[in-house]
Amino acid sequence: MKQLLIVFLGGGAGSVARFLLSKWFNNPSSGLPYGTFLANVLGSFLIGIILGYFYKTNTISQNTMLLVATGFCGGFTTFSTFAYESHIFLKNNDFLSFGIYVLASIILGFAAVFLGMWLVKTI
């Protein structure tokens, strides 16, 4: 039960952070979902740092991992919103934005995880 509460708290904080980021960075006039994109890349970078630090030092507790990696990063990043926004691009026949958004999200998401883990490894 304690672990469920820890994930719940982290997920709630991550969801609020994503909501605020979307409010600040999503541009209704251009339709480009910069907030979602930024949340996914930053969340990928953060989980890379967290997991990299855990693997390097083996000092992060299971509860901290649940709070930050599973909870916060899980609530902060959003595959469902990414998929929906991609669908909107296709629905509007905006294939260029669709391609750029999908490829950039996937490539930079992976790169951010690897960069976070690499940074922790080299420090």
For residues 89 and 103, is the Cβ–Cβ distance under 8 A? no
Q: Which two tokens stand for residue 119?
A: 């940074």
For residues 78 and 11, is the Cβ–Cβ distance under 8 A? no
For residues 71 and 8, is the Cβ–Cβ distance under 8 A? yes
Instruction: Residue 14: name the closest of 68, 50, 58, 55 by CA.
Output: 68
* Angle, helix 79-91 to helix 34-57, in steps of 10 degrees: 150
The answer to whether 36 is a known ligand-binding residue is: no
The answer to whether 77 is a known ligand-binding residue is: yes
For residues 14 and 74, is the Cβ–Cβ distance under 8 A? yes
Q: Which residues line the annotated binding site for Na(+)? A: 74, 77
Q: Which residues line the annotated binding site? A: 74, 77
